[in-house]
Copies of this chain bind each other. A is one copy, B any other.
Amino acid sequence: MIVILKENHDKRQLDNLIAWLKSMDINVHISEGIRQTVLGLIGDTSIVDADLIRALDIVEDVKLVQEPYKKANRKFHPQDTVVDVSGVKVGAGHFCIIAGPCSIESEEQICGIARSVKQAGAAMLRGGAFKPRTSPYAFQGLRANGIEMLLLAKKETGLPIVSEIMDISQLPLFEEVDLLQVGARNMQNFELLKELGTLDKPILLKRGLSSTIQELLMSAEYIMASGNENVILCERGIRTFETYTRNTLDISAIPLVKELSHLPVIVDPSHATGISRLVKPMSVAAAAAGADGLIIEVHNDPPHALCDGVQSITPAAFADLVANIKAILPNAHHY
């Protein structure tokens, strides 16, 4: 951490600051320039609150040298993490494709799609029971009933299942769900993250609509700091001024997150673009850029899907997509 002092700062206040830092075992190197004096803080600066120092009278600015995340940081954990979801591995060369409908609509629908996507090469089944919808008047999901139908599809196909949890109070319903998804709108629901950190269950953490990569990693850190290190990150598009696509899929986040962190990164091209025709090219691009997997919206009857149908693809289109992925990833472990 680097502290830039104001010109003509009070020397006594500076002594106080240095004494306080030393009391926390932080060493301070002072560089005096012509216009500017700069302090270099050395030691475990993760315990020093940069905002607090920035607020001091004598301080002009504070610059961080080290990342504020530790457990998610590749510097402290150089090898790739492999997350095991009920036997399906994700990360470190294990490429995992998750597929299924945005919303669970009926037992027939979810079981039918489950069979189709399993045959086409999906390793896990997704299905939404609790749906975060912008409008209170839109379909909110089948909730507890939806989870039950998803469990039937799991039983029938053997595929591990993924579903979004929206509130701590829903936890009892998710006991047999294999991978718990935290949606983009809840990426900074810190109370939920802390609770999920106490579980012995892998978590799929989606990047918020306007969250930076560092914020995504800090949210992962919340879960990991509470004890649960089985976190899979998901890039799903960020909000920009572009209006043709729903969001802008940040493909560069894939190699960047993998450089900064050891956690696996998968990509959701369906929600990112909101356009079914873009799902295949974006999937292939994500795989080419080094993603550890994909989560794809598949519906047996896209035009009648109860939500987000515009971005769904059919089981046939999904099978074609899987073939394309396999062609460009000959050396990855496919499920």
Interface residues of A (CB under 8 A from B): 2, 4, 27, 29, 31-36, 38, 40, 42-43, 46-47, 49, 51-52, 54-57, 61, 63, 65-66, 68, 130, 132-140, 166-170, 185-186, 188-192, 194, 209-210, 212-215, 218, 221-222, 225-226, 238-245, 248-256, 259-260, 272-273, 275, 277-278, 281-282, 284-290, 302-310, 312, 328
Given A189-B186, A242-B213, A277-B259, check contact A52 B285 (CB 8 Å): no
Given A213-B244, A240-B238, A308-B51, check contact A136 B56 (CB 8 Å): no
For A255, the chain B residues whose CB sits under 8 A away are 277-278, 281-282
Query: B222 contacts A244, CB within 8 Å?
Result: no
Given contact pairs A33-B40, A47-B137, a sample of 15 additional A-B residue pairs in the complex whose CB atoms are under 8 Å apart? A2-B38, A29-B31, A46-B137, A55-B304, A136-B190, A136-B222, A136-B225, A168-B169, A189-B189, A238-B240, A238-B242, A281-B288, A281-B289, A285-B288, A288-B328
> Which of B166, B209, B241 is in CB contact (< 8 Å) with A190?
B166
For A259, the chain B residues whose CB sits under 8 A away are 277
Query: A210 contacts B241, CB within 8 Å?
Result: yes
For A312, the chain B residues whose CB sits under 8 A away are 55
Query: B190 contacts A132, CB within 8 Å?
Result: yes
